[in-house]
């Protein structure tokens, strides 16, 4: 049986390995000239590590990761809004891996069957019967996995009436600093803007920031970050000083409204193509990894592609849409900017018991294959 996977990001590459391990002949079509990821960090929560373990890749990731969770949420001046007991978090759910995106892409590309990765091929159209029209011609397959990201051409061609991604109301910056030690990773919330950072295994620091802004607002990059966050608590100003101008990535944050199905005939949507979510829980890529492992497992245990895809839709849609909703809620509260609302929010966060934090994470992190 042959599967064409469209998109060679984290979701597509993971799907290639998961399906190949179950005996599928796979081909990954990627429009970029190389299989690469943006220069930023990525948190892989225990649920994602369990998905990678199912493919025998978890330990390779752990070797290239810093296994540590963020220590909590602070205000712009540095006082704690909520402090995470990272030992307790790990005891309950397992450890969190902080990796550079390039490293996970390397590991996933190396795990895919040799000769299965075709870079520089752009897909233009897909038909529900598994016909794929692309820049090198036409291909057909028993299964087409659409892992082509938030603006998925597959979704648009098979489901022309599906909703389009919508702007979340805030924009984001990501960067990796020069190596510098930090005591612990945290996220800090101000009024209408947030910044977070986490150490990477090679001593560099992955930083990200958000700010409420009209869609499409241009940014001056590091200069704007200095103006917004330069007087926040240490080490934020020091992290900005350790960042090169050209290391700053800037993107508006979009999310996909819930779809009514992830499958049609021979097509399965996976990862951001199915459920692009705001990054507030650090779960987008984690969910793409889960999708890939679940899809391959269901196909292996089913006597037809059609029934496996139906089960995949039932297994994945409620879970991923629940996580997307939670991420949205956290993002909107995190972006509040009215001073009275921020005072109330901060007071509530200081009073919230740790048990409510663990309870909210349990359905997300307790997942296993
Ligand atoms: C600021 C920010 C921070 C984040 N932090 C985290 C985090 O810490 N942890 C986490 O789990 N997630 C995080 N995410 C989410 C995560 O990045 C995504 O969910 C994940 O990368 C989605 O992977 P994907 O493979 O589904 O899609 P993508 O990574 O978008 O890959 C899609 C691929 O398809 C290719 N493609 C697109 N169209 C075509 C076409 N027509 N033909 C051929 N190829 C095509 C693209 O070139 C691309 O390589 C974050 C997101 C953002 C924006």
- In the chain, the domains with their CATH numbers are 2-166+255-365 (3.50.50.60)
Ligand 1 pocket: which of 157, 173, 272, 276 to mutate (most atoms <8 Å of CB)? 272
Q: Is the pLDDT of residue 300 over 90?
A: yes
Question: What is the Å distance from ligand 1's center to 284 Cα?
Answer: 8
Average pLDDT over residues 226-231: 98
What pLDDT score does 39 carry?
84
Q: Which atom of ligand 1 is nearest to the CA of 287?
A: 11
Check whether 68 has a pLDDT greater than 90. no
pLDDT at 91 over 90: yes
Q: How many CA atoms lie within 13 A of 302 on its CB side?
A: 15
Mean pLDDT over 217-237 rounds to: 98
Say if ligand 1 is within 6 A of residue 297 CB: no
Q: Residue 43 CA: which ligand 1 atom is closest?
A: 8
Mean pLDDT, rounded, for 67-95: 94
Mean pLDDT, residues 49-55: 98
Kindly tell me if the per-residue pLDDT of 265 is higher than 90. Answer: yes
Give the model's pLDDT for residue 89.
95
Distances 178 to 30, 39, 118, 270 between C-alpha atoms, Å = 30, 12, 33, 34
pLDDT-derived band at 36, boundaries 50, 70, 90: confident
**pLDDT of 42 higher than 90:** yes
The predicted model gives 323-333 an average pLDDT of 98
pLDDT at 170 over 90: yes
Residue 103 reports pLDDT greater than 90: yes
Q: Is the CB of 192 under 6 A from ligand 1?
A: no
Reported as a pLDDT band with limits 50, 70 and 90, residue 43 is: very high
Q: How far is the CA of 11 from the centre of ligand 1 (A)?
A: 8
Residue 37 has pLDDT above 90, yes or no: no
Residue 7 — very low, low, confident or very high, per pLDDT cuts 50/70/90?
very high
Q: Is residue 299 in contact with ligand 1, taking CB distance under 6 Å? A: no
pLDDT of 78 higher than 90:
yes
What mean pLDDT is predicted for residues 212-220? 98
Length of the chain: 369
Tell how far the Cα of 10 is from the centroid of ligand 1, in angstroms.
Answer: 7
- CA of 111 relative to ligand 1 center, distance in Å: 19
Nearest CA to 186 out of 296, 71, 289, 85 is that of: 71
Whether 46 is in the pocket of ligand 1, judged by its Cβ within 6 Å, is no
| Cβ of residue 185 lying under 6 Å from some atom of ligand 1 | no
* pLDDT average, residue stretch 327-331: 98
Region 318-336 average pLDDT: 98
In angstroms, the first-to-last Cα distance of the chain is 23
**What would the mean pLDDT of 187-196 be, rounded to a whole number?**
98
Residue 75: the pLDDT is 98
Mean pLDDT in residue range 140-152: 98
Mean pLDDT of 315-325: 98
Going from the Cα of 19 to the center of ligand 1, the distance in angstroms, rounded, reads 19
């Amino acid at each position: 049986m042959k599967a064409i996977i469209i998109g060679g990001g984290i979701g597509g590459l993971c799907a290639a390995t998961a399906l190949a391990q179950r005996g599928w002949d796979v081909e990954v079509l990627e429009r970029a000239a190389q299989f690469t990821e943006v220069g930023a960090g990525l948190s892989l929560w225990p649920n994602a590590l369990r998905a990678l373990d199912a493919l025998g890749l978890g330990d390779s990731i752990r070797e290239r990761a810093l296994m540590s969770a963020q220590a909590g949420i602070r205000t712009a001046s540095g006082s704690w809004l909520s402090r995470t007991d990272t030992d307790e978090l790990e005891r309950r759910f397992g450890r969190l891996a902080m990796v550079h995106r390039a490293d996970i892409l390397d590991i996933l590309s190396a795990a895919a069957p040799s000769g299965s990765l075709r870079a520089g091929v752009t897909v233009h159209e897909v038909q529900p019967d598994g016909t794929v029209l692309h820049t090198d011609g036409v291909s057909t397959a028993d299964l087409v996995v659409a892992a082509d990201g938030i603006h998925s051409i597959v979704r648009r061609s098979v489901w022309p009436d599906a909703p389009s991604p919508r702007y979340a109301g805030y924009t984001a910056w990501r960067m990796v600093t020069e190596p510098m030690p930090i005591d612990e990773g945290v996220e800090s919330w101000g009024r209408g803007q947030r910044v977070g950072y986490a150490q990477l295994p090679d001593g560099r620091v992955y930083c990200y920031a958000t700010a409420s802004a009209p869609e499409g607002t241009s940014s001056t990059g590091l200069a704007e970050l200095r103006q917004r966050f330069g007087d926040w608590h240490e080490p934020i100003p020091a992290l900005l000083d350790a960042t090169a101008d050209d290391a700053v990535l800037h993107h508006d944050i979009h999310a996909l409204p819930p779809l009514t199905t992830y499958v049609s005939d021979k097509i399965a949507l996976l990862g951001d193509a199915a459920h692009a979510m705001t990054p507030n829980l650090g779960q987008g890529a984690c969910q793409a990894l889960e999708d890939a492992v679940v899809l391959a497992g269901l196909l292996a245990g089913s006597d037809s592609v059609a029934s496996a895809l139906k089960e995949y839709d039932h297994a994945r849609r409620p879970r991923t849409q629940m996580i997307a909703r939670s991420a949205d809620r956290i993002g909107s509260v995190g972006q509040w900017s009215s001073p009275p609302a921020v005072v109330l929010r901060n007071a509530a966060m200081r009073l919230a018991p740790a048990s409510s934090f663990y309870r909210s994470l349990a359905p997300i992190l307790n997942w296993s294959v």
